[in-house]
Structures are given as C-alpha cells and as structure tokens.
Amino acid sequence: MNHSTEQLDPVRAPSPDQPDGTRSGVHWAASIMPIVERFGLLILLVAVVVFFAVYPATSQIFPTMANFKNIAANEAVLIVVALAVLVPMVAHRFDLSAGAVVALASIAAAKATTSMELPLAVGVVVGIGVGLVVGLVNGALIAYCRANSLVITLGMSTLLIGAGAYWSGYQTLVGVPQSLTSFGSGFWLNVPKSVWLVVCVALGVSYLLGMTVYGRRLLSIGSNESAANLVGMPVQRTVMTAFAVSGGLAGLAGVLLLARTGSAASGVGTGYLLPALAAIFLGSTTIRPGRFTVAGTLTGVFFVAVSINGLTLAGTEDWVEPVFNGGAVIVAVAISSLLTHRRLTGSPRQYKC
Amino acid sequence: MAGPETGAAASGLEFQGVSKSFPGTRALADISFAVRPSEFHALVGGNGSGKSTLIKILAGVYQGDPGGVIRLGDTTSQSDHVTPRWSRAAGIRFVHQDLGLFPQLSVTENVLAGTSYPRRRGGIDWGMAHRTVQGLLDSLGIEVAARSFVRDLRPADQTLIAVARCLSDRQTSSIHLLVLDEPTTRLPADEVHGLLERLRSYSRGGQSILYVSHRLDEVLEYADTITVLRDGRHIDTRSASEHDRSTIVEAIAGQAQAHLSRRVNKSVPGAPVLSVEGLTGGPLRDVSLSVDAGEVVAIAGLVGSGRTSLMRNIYGAVKPAAGTVVVNGHPLSPGNVAEALDRGISFVPEDRARDGAFLDLGLRENLSATTVRRYRRLGWFRRGQETGDASRDVVTYRIRTPGTITPMVKLSGGNQQKAVIARAMRTSPSVLLLDEPTQGVDVGARSDIYAQIESAVDAGSGVLLATSDLDELLHLADRVVVLTAGKISDQAAGDEITRTWIYENVYNAGDGK
C-alpha cells in the first residue's frame, strides 16, 4: 500500500525515447482493457449467477427469490463489517480488529439485555459504544503514536477475543429480547429488515466518503499523506476518526449479528474479517479501479457471497469456503496493487513482483 | 610523492563529440575532452551546465545522441550504446553524492555488499572477510577498522569507504577510472582537505579520477586539470595551474547573457509581510530575514545549506527548535501548518511527486486541497462550485488538461506544477514560499509559472524563493540572501545581483575562506 518512491516525473527523469505503438496487436487490447477493468467484477458476478442458475445441482434452488433474500439477509453483517473496514482503508490503513469487535459488541449487547436486564435500546447503544471505544483506542494509537495499523489492530483483535471469552464466561449467550430477534428475521415491504439497515449504512458511508469534506480528506491522505499534511489537513484527527467510525460500524454489525442469530459468543466475529477484506479489495478493482468505494465493496461482497452460496448448494464441503475467501483476497490484492501501480506510473511494464 | 599502490591500470578516458538532447532542450552539445592516465581531473560548472548529464551518460543511465564516442583505454563505445554493464566492464567506478552506504552495518559488510563473501563450510567466513577488507583499507591508507560500524565514522571516512567499495575488486579487474560526483557537498570544511589529500595520493599512485564539484577553491588546490562546462557546452580544459579564482568564475558564469530581463521591483519597503527572527532547527542556525509586500527574496545556497529546511520551518511543516515567524504582524505558533495557511502563507514544495501532488486524484481535487473547507455547506460538499473554481484556474493559469477531473498523473510535469502553484494561490497568500518552483519543467510551462508568480507579486504577496537556477534567480529576485551551512552568510539587492556575485558568494562559501 505504500507509495512508490520512484521518480514519477517524466520531465525530470527522461527515459530513452520509446516510440508508441510499435508493437502491433496492442491496439484492440488498449481499447477494450479499460472496459474490462471497470466492469470486470460485475461481469464476473453476472457470470457466476448465470452459472449457478443453470448448473443442474443448483438450478432448483439457487435462482429463487427466497434464496436471494436469504443471501442478502445472511450477508447483512458481512456488508456492515466490510463498510466499517472500508472507511480507514480509504486512508490506506487496515482495521483488522473489526471481526473481533463484532463478537465483543454482540456479547456486550447480549449481556446488557439479559443478565443486566437493561432496555433493548440501551443494549443497542452499548453494543455500538463498545465498538466506538475500541475504534477510538485503535485510532489514537495509530494516528498519534504513528503506529502501524496492521500490527495495532491485529493485536487489538487478539486482545478482544480473549476479553470476550472472559466476559461471556466461555458461554454462548442466549435469551435476548424477542423484539431484537424479530428485527433480525423480520421483513418490511417484503424485504428483510436487516437489508434495510444495510441500505441505510451503505448510503451513510457513501455520503461520508463522497459528499463531505471529511471524505475528501480521507481520500487525500490515502493518495499522498505527505502532501495532505502540507496542505494543512488535520491528518491525525482524520485518521483517528476513521477508526472510530470503523469501530462504531463494527459494533453495529455485532448488534445485527445478535439480532440475526439470537446468540452471542466470543470468536464468532473473526470469520467476517477476511471476506470483508476480500470484498473491499475486489471492489477496488472495479467501477473506479484503484479506489476503495462503497459501490465496489458491495459488488465484492455479493461476488463472494453468491459464489459461496452457489458452492454450498452444489454440495461442496466446508473447506471450500475458507479456500475461496483466502484465494479471493490474494487475487484481489494482487490485481488492486497492479492497478494502483500502473495508474501512478502510466506503464504496465515496471512491475517488480 | 609516492601514493599508496591502487593497482589501477594507467589509461585515460576520452569523450568525442558527445551530445544529449531531451525533448525540447539540448543538455549537452558536442562535448570532447580527455582525462589523462593517473590524472586528478575536475569537472566544474553551474546548475544546468550538463555535468550530471555527462556523468549519467558515462554510467549508462542516459543514452547519448548517436554520433558521440567514449573511449577508455583500448575499449571504445558509441555514446548511445553505453550501458551500466559496459561501463562497469570497461573499468569505471562511481561514487555518487548519496554514498549508498548502510550506516548500521559494518565497514566490511559495506565494502563487500554486492560481491561474493568468502565462505567456509557453507557459511560466511567472517574472519577472512574482515582480513580482506582490512587489507584493502590499509593499502588505500584509510585509517578505519573493518569491524567498525559505518554510522560511527566521520563523514570523510564514510566517503572513503564508498571509494574503497568501488576499488574492492581491483585485484581481479582493472579500475581505469574513478568518478566522484560532488563528494564534499555534505562534508564539514575541516574534513574536506583530508579526503582530497587521500584522493590526490590515489591519483599519484596511478588512479585516474574524474571529480565533479561545485567548490572552486578545493578544485583549484587539488586538481591537476580542470574542465569547465556551461549551458551544455565544453568551455575549456586546462591545467589547474593556469587558472585562478577569477578566471574559473568567469569560465563558469560566462558573460552576462540576456536570457530574461530582470523584473521591475514592485516591493513596498518597510511593510514586511513576513519576518523571521532567530530561526534555529535542523541545519538552521539563527536565521533572521524579512520579506516586504510585493518583494521577491531569493535564497541561494548549495544543496544541504538549509534552503528547504528554512521553508519548512517557516511554514510549520517542521517545528523549529527556536525562533519566531511573524506574518502580517501575527506571530505563528510553531509547527502548525493549518495556522500558517490561515494567516496567509502558502508553500510549494520541491518534490512534487512526494510532497505536492495527489497523483491518483483528479486535477479538481488537487486544486482544492488547501481550501476544501470552503465547499462545505450544510454538511454537503459543493461539487459544482468546486468544478467551477477548477475550470477558472485551468484558464487563469493556462493548465493544459483534457478536463478538470483528469487524474493528475495524466498531466505533464509542467502542468502538474502549474496546478500545485495554482493551489497555493487559492488562499490568496500574503507570503508565498516557493521551493524550486520550475524544477523539471519545460520552457513553455516555465514562463507560465513566472507569470503566476508575478501576478501574485503584483497583488502584493511577498515571495521567498529557493532556486538552483541562476537565470531564474536573476530574473525574479529583488534581493538575494545566501545561506551557507544553515546561516545567512551574505545579502545583495537590485543591481548588485549578478552571475559573478552569486558564484563568488554561493559556490565558494564554506571552503573555509
């Protein structure tokens, strides 16, 4: 993710003259590549949907409305986690603690509404609040101590898993109020309520990243932190806030998980992290290649989710899912890095893999 | 005087008709001269004279135009066919200004970096490695222990370690020429002589040396022969004994050329927009200066003199250890860029790719980076207004671009620079800090940038300009302040500023005179 320190200036570092278009066969590729690049993932998503819709083992169930609703509702938690991680990622920082925050927030909300017998609204606030506090601690350490985000949030993630285990007493907490679980499984206008929540979060993050001064600052920091400092942007505060937003959203995802499953246990959240990263990086190869966007991330989530759903319906075994998720994140990061490098140097031939 | 045995083969280097053209400019025109065997040969010239370009052709970094020839002993190459591999095989070794050492590693590891270490039973034979390197150091008369760490050495010894690394394979291959590119620039004056003494003894021992330098006194004292380049042309190659300070300054500076006439001075005396008092920090030592409204003050100085530090300290990008900065009567709190901007300072950094441009963002986003807050209304970002402002800047500052949302990286260097300067103007600054504003910019963009600067001055801004380009300095500056090793060493104003004055006071300061 770090910026290349190579000479980027064609005037200052003149290269030997290289006449354009000497290699034939480059022309058609040059005109079609940008389109493939922009819509590649969407095309792939459609292809996957079509494949599972006609593939004999899945064609009975896969292309039904019920199944699509099921996918959307199941992936609600993942989407919120992905959008949470997306916010600091725009400033080129990783939040690897989001998965652990999901678990801890669901435990907190479960504890508040069961053993502490607090009202549901308070439980929701407690869940989000736990995430917010974790995010603020992450952000303060990363922004003001200039610590590496990967290591800080990885450490935080491990710490939170242990804390969650202690807090839940190694138990799976159950017995949350019915009003919460009915939200998790309920419908409004024939659409799962959790999907409505996801739509709200997606719109909110879109607004934050695309239509506010804050979003512009995040984008600028991600593009060139040194320049962002020199144009007077409050880099540290912006970075810290990004982690706070990420933590808060991950907390919300935890509450949503509790509403969906009716139970909370330490360790359940970490499974969301890798697919979330896969979705973000897959998303950064599409629509606006090289940038981390909400639309791209949503496309990425559905690509991952639809593929997994189809594979599950086709009767594949459990090991397929982690292999797919891991493979997706590796391929996505590799492509995304190549795209970024090419955007910055204008040349696809300088890769040093 | 018999120098240490360096084992160098005694053969010279010869350039014949070497030229180099870049799009729009000719950096070198028909250069021919020879470095004789076992000669300490100095190559001098101002910025833009073509010294570095010539060295880069010799190293195979740039390709010369067809037609030129480089001959080394009995090896000959067309100047457009020189590659780094050829250069090395022909026996040329380079010590660059940035020595490329690993400070936290030992001398042995530095000297042997990139070669094969002696081995024993599959591992590195460290005893053997240290002995080999110590033998090399001793034979070169470098009084340093092979086991010591490079970071603990004096700067002059570090330079010698870089030299030793170049000469480390002299047992197996003949080193015909050692090229040193401004090795003394970052050395304290008292260490310069020791280094040059060593180098001269190598040349007495048979090693041909081509020595690139800015510092005329040391060249006059130590070199056998001096070659002067100016504006990409070979001026002359003469024995150092035929030169004195005035002849060499004249050769470097040339006659006053009417490149660009001097601007009309529009400053308003007695109304300083910027006053700096006792600024200390990094290389800076107690720097005080002021800039009047409508005045252009140039900071002249060699690399490492503290020009960039001065700008960054004033702007608040670096927090000074001591000193005050006052803008329009308001003292600034140190190390606060946002406040400096609010009070009316703008800064154009030297390294555009690293510090100036958001290369993957659009031109529009780049232009509004200092003023994003203006576009906030009721929590929304006013994109339309932002696009309108960007379109206006594109016209005003003649930025050539397909559109306002074109990514910055797609623009030419000159147009990127115009955009960075246009951004600095967005805040209508009363003080404009410009660090090498036309570096790596073509001629057309350069005149557009001068127009940008002049329109700011006409509007009453004070400009502090750091530039290595003498023509630019002569064209723009109302006053020149010379910075030497972090201190202001001299000043000149108006007609006192001449090429000769600059050379006398910039390139010779720091020689212990």
Model pLDDT, residue A28: 60
A341 → chain B, closest CA residue: B360
B interface toward A at CB cutoff 8 Å? 22-23, 62-63, 315, 317, 337-338, 340-342, 347, 349, 352-361, 365, 369-370, 372-373, 375-376, 379-381, 407, 409-410, 412-414, 423, 439-442
In 3D space, the residue among B442, B448, B443 whose CA is nearest the CA of residue B397 turns out to be B448
Give the separation between CA B415 and CA B417, rounded to whole angstroms. Answer: 5
- From the list A11, A227, A234, the residue facing B414 with the nearest CB is A11
Give the separation between CA B412 and CA B403, rounded to whole angstroms. Answer: 13
A210 → chain B, closest CA residue: B381
Residue A73 amino acid letter: A
Model pLDDT, residue B433: 95
Binary contact (B353, A16; C-beta < 8 A): no
Chain A residues near residue B341 by CB distance under 8 angstroms: 231-232
Model pLDDT, residue B255: 60
- pTM of the full structure: 0.76
- From the list A12, A216, A229, the residue facing B337 with the nearest CB is A229
Model pLDDT, residue B98: 78
Residue B72 C-alpha, separation from nearest chain A C-alpha, in angstroms: 24
Give the separation between CA A234 and CA A148, rounded to whole angstroms. Answer: 18
In 3D space, the residue among B433, B462, B452 whose CA is nearest the CA of residue B295 turns out to be B462
Q: Show me where the domains of chain A are located.
A: 39-345
Give the separation between CA A299 and CA A278, rounded to whole angstroms. Answer: 11
The torsion defined by the Cα of B161, B162, B168 and B174, in degrees rounded to 10, comes to -130
Binary contact (B341, A231; C-beta < 8 A): yes
Binary contact (A10, B413; C-beta < 8 A): yes
Residue A350 C-alpha, separation from nearest chain B C-alpha, in angstroms: 16
Around B281, how many Cα atoms within 13 Å sit in the side-chain half-sphere? Answer: 22
Give every residue of chain B whose pLDDT is below 50, as ranges: 1-10, 256-258, 509-513
What was the ipTM of the complex prediction? Answer: 0.80
Model pLDDT, residue B11: 63
SS3 content of chain A, % helix, strand, coil (to 5): 70, 0, 30
A interface toward B at CB cutoff 8 Å? 5, 7-12, 14, 16, 210-213, 215-217, 219-220, 223-224, 226-234, 290-291, 340, 343-344, 346
Using one digit for the tens of pLDDT, what is the confidence trace for B166-215? Answer: 888 776 667 788 999 888 776 776 778 888 888 898 888 888 999 988 77
B357 → chain A, closest CA residue: A227
Residue A48 amino acid letter: V
- From the list A10, A217, A230, the residue facing B317 with the nearest CB is A230
Model pLDDT, residue B299: 93
Residue A15 amino acid letter: S
Give the separation between CA A2 and CA B354, rounded to whole angstroms. Answer: 12
Find out if CATH 3.10.620 is the number for domain A39-345.
no
Are the beta carbons of B341 and A199 closer than 8 angstroms? no
Residue B227 C-alpha, separation from nearest chain A C-alpha, in angstroms: 25
Q: Is the dihedral of CA A231, A234, A236, A239 positive or negative?
A: negative
Residue A326 C-alpha, separation from nearest chain B C-alpha, in angstroms: 28
| Averages of pLDDT over each 10 residues, chain A, 353 residues | 38 38 50 72 85 82 80 87 96 94 93 82 91 96 93 94 89 80 78 87 94 93 93 94 97 92 82 90 82 91 87 83 87 82 54 31
Binary contact (B440, A12; C-beta < 8 A): yes
Binary contact (A228, B369; C-beta < 8 A): yes
Give the separation between CA B392 and CA B386, rounded to whole angstroms. Answer: 10
Chain A residues near residue B380 by CB distance under 8 angstroms: 211-212
In 3D space, the residue among A214, A231, A238, A223 whose CA is nearest the CA of residue B375 turns out to be A214
Chain A interface, mutation test: which of B341, B352, B372, B380, most A Cβ atoms within 10 Å? B372
Are the beta carbons of B480 and B300 closer than 8 angstroms? yes
Binary contact (A8, B341; C-beta < 8 A): no
Binary contact (B23, A14; C-beta < 8 A): yes
Binary contact (B375, A213; C-beta < 8 A): yes
**What residues contact residue A280 under an 8 Å CB cut-off, 6+ apart?**
A82, A85, A86, A89, A292, A296, A297, A300
Residue A137 C-alpha, separation from nearest chain B C-alpha, in angstroms: 24
- From the list A7, A212, A340, the residue facing B379 with the nearest CB is A212
Pairing of strands B25-35, B13-22: antiparallel
Chain A residues near residue B441 by CB distance under 8 angstroms: 11
A5 → chain B, closest CA residue: B354
Give the separation between CA A59 and CA A347, rounded to whole angstroms. Answer: 44
User: What are the Cα distances from residue A99, in Å, to A96, A159, A246, A279, A347?
Assistant: 7, 12, 11, 14, 37
Residue B311 C-alpha, separation from nearest chain A C-alpha, in angstroms: 12
Q: pLDDT exceeding 90 applies to what percent of chain B?
A: 33
Residue B103 C-alpha, separation from nearest chain A C-alpha, in angstroms: 20
Size of interface A-B (CB pairs under 8 A): 103
Chain A residues near residue B348 by CB distance under 8 angstroms: none
Are the beta carbons of A101 and A251 closer than 8 angstroms? yes
Model pLDDT, residue A182: 78
Binary contact (A227, B355; C-beta < 8 A): yes
Binary contact (A230, B337; C-beta < 8 A): yes
With b for 16 or more beta-carbon neighbours within 10 A and e for fewer, the B494-513 pattern comes to eeebebebbbbbbbbbbbee
- From the list A5, A219, A232, the residue facing B337 with the nearest CB is A232
Q: Please state the separation of Cα B358 from the chain's center in Å.
A: 24
User: What are the Cα distances from residue B309, in Å, to A283, B314, B485?
Assistant: 41, 8, 11
Q: pLDDT exceeding 70 applies to what percent of chain A?
A: 87
**What residues contact residue B337 under an 8 Å CB cut-off, 6+ apart?**
A229, A230, A231, A232, B315, B316, B317
With b for 16 or more beta-carbon neighbours within 10 A and e for fewer, the A55-89 pattern comes to eeebeeebeeeebeeebbbebbbbbbbbbbbbbbb
Residue A11 C-alpha, separation from nearest chain B C-alpha, in angstroms: 5
Residue B132 C-alpha, separation from nearest chain A C-alpha, in angstroms: 34
Residue A232 C-alpha, separation from nearest chain B C-alpha, in angstroms: 4
B441 → chain A, closest CA residue: A11
Model pLDDT, residue B1: 39
Model pLDDT, residue A33: 67
